[in-house]
Amino acid sequence: MDYYSVLGVSAQASTEEITKHFKRLALKYHPDKTNHDPLLTEKFKELNRAYEVLKDNRLRQIYDTKGEEGVRQEEAPPPNHHFTQGASAFSAFTQGSAQNIFTQIFSDLNSIFEQSQIPTYDFGDMKRHVEPLVSDMPRQYEQGKDIHHTCQVELGDLFYGKQIKLSLPKRSKCASCDGLGGVSPKTCRGCQGSGKVIISHFNEFSQMKQVGSCRACHGRGFYNPPAQACDDCKGAGYIKENKVLKVNLLPGSRNGDKIYLRGEGDEGPFLIPGDVIIHICERPHKFLVRRNNDLFMEKEIDLSTALLGGSIYIDDFVVDGQALHIDIEREQCPLQSGEPKLIKGYGMPINQATKGGQIEQTLEDVDFFKDVAFDMSKYSRGNLYINFTVKMPDLNSISETDATVLSSLLGSRIQTPDHGQIIGTGALTNLDNHKRRRL
């Protein structure tokens, strides 16, 4: 392997030029960027190996004179050394196999504990020993948790639709290092890049084993030396930030609907981001009540309109500042209190996209489909039901002449009992305001 060709530089390139080429290629071929493609992961190992040799003036001089074999001889560890010193990032994946490690563990347990460089500790009457868990299987990704947010909306927002902007705290990949934490991550020696370790508790009578995350690298399988850590994320690869998200609340949405932004949850190493789920919560309207796609309300009208018809206006219909005009024809009169009337097509928009109450959106589509989604002409509508209450005129406003005219127009009927004896005659009396409140 020609290290200079791997990095795409000439044999006369300066250390600065070598570093520049390595950074660019390392970001391109890092396993987190290539979904751990085996061929590209091998390419990444070659890049790291070439860079570690060529950035070191002493090793570079040996490579120029003796080649790759000369460098290997220079780096060869002492006979009893358990870890390769100066190993390139992720190169530990190629050293040994799961079979070799587990054979060593179970062949002579006491010998392992005596020879290991990792110290043992008292665990009550048990001792503790930690070994890397190395496997030929690819690293498994974990499903991240969903982020839930409740959004309070008005009936008008559900009627006409609305674009909602939210600022939610989340963990995101660092833009400076693209989630790597630095330009040259090293394989963790504690877990040999697997992110997992085997923890053994034992004494002369029994032993117990369990698998856990490596504390040294926090389960990542690699680390960044402090001098090479990213300044923005301090080597973590991920940062906490408030991210602005936009979603479209579609016309016809309902209280309790959920809007899903798939994959917009927290990011992390070997983590499949969860979803951001926005729960829609409707504030009560001051007089309109929704049932499915229909609207219901109470409306007070005067006696004249109830008897003869006319025009009425419903102020602040759905949203403040807009009014609904209704013509009441003579043929529809008289209007009775407690007898609802129907006005077709003035209920809620009927939107098939909101059926089921779970709406999936992507950040890329929110602005693109905004005009189409909020076009009210494309939706059919439910109905409006009005329960009229007839307000009787004030007695003091009716003169004797008016009363005579009304009596002749409306007629009157003297009611007599069907059976039984009349025990007396009562007279109605108006209540004062104090007595009304008590009732």
Closest alpha carbon to 60 in 9, 99, 112, 116: 9
Which residues on adjacent β-strands are paired with residue 152? Answer: 281
Contact assessment for residue 27 and residue 130, using Cβ atoms and an 8 Å cutoff: no
φ, ψ of residue 168 in degrees (nearest 5): -115, 140
CATH number reported for the structural domain that contains residue 383 in this entry: 2.60.260.20
Residue ending a domain, choose from 73, 93, 123? 73
**pLDDT score for 90:** 37
Structural domain includes residue 83: no
Kindly report the length of the chain. Answer: 439
| Structural domain for 300, as ranges | 288-356+373-399
Structural domain includes residue 177: no
Residue ending a domain, choose from 19, 42, 73? 73
**pLDDT score for 32:** 67
Which residues on adjacent β-strands are paired with residue 309? Answer: none
Q: Give the residue ranges of DSSP H helices in 258-362.
A: 303-308
Tens-binned pLDDT, residue by residue, of the chain (439 aa): 889 998 999 888 888 888 888 888 887 887 767 777 778 888 888 888 888 889 888 888 888 888 888 888 776 544 443 333 333 333 333 333 343 444 343 333 333 333 444 444 444 567 888 888 877 667 777 899 999 999 999 999 999 999 999 999 999 989 888 888 887 888 888 888 888 898 888 877 788 888 888 888 888 888 888 888 888 998 888 999 998 999 999 999 999 999 999 999 999 887 889 999 999 999 999 999 999 999 999 999 988 899 888 999 999 999 999 999 999 998 888 888 888 899 999 999 999 989 889 999 988 888 888 888 899 999 999 999 999 999 887 767 777 787 777 777 666 656 666 666 766 666 666 667 665 566 5
Structural domain includes residue 17: yes
Contact assessment for residue 153 and residue 285, using Cβ atoms and an 8 Å cutoff: no
**pLDDT score for 120:** 44
What tokens were used for 172?
Answer: 């995101």
Contact assessment for residue 361 and residue 260, using Cβ atoms and an 8 Å cutoff: yes
Residue ending a domain, choose from 48, 73, 98? 73
Distance CA 307, CA 321 (A): 29
Please compute, for residue 281, the number of CA atoms within 13 A of its CA located in the half-sphere on the CB side.
Answer: 8
Q: Is 218 left (phi over 0), alpha (psi -120 to 50) or beta?
A: left
CATH number reported for the structural domain that contains residue 12 in this entry: 1.10.287.110
Q: Residue 161: which H helix or E strand, with range?
A: none
Contact assessment for residue 269 and residue 237, using Cβ atoms and an 8 Å cutoff: yes
**pLDDT score for 250:** 95
**pLDDT score for 439:** 58
**pLDDT score for 381:** 95
Structural domain includes residue 393: yes
**pLDDT score for 133:** 85
Contact assessment for residue 282 and residue 187, using Cβ atoms and an 8 Å cutoff: no
**pLDDT score for 75:** 61
Query: How far from the centroid of its chain's Cα atoms is residue 379's Cα?
Result: 29
Q: What total number of domains does the chain contain?
A: 2
**pLDDT score for 67:** 86
Closest alpha carbon to 251 in 373, 382, 380: 373
Structural domain includes residue 350: yes
DSSP characters over 310-359: EEEEETT-SSTT--EEEEE-GGGPSPPTT-EEEETT-S-EE-GGGTTSEE
Structural domain includes residue 5: yes
Which residue has 């970001």 as its token pair?
A: 27
Q: Give the residue ranges of DSSP H helices in 224-362.
A: 303-308
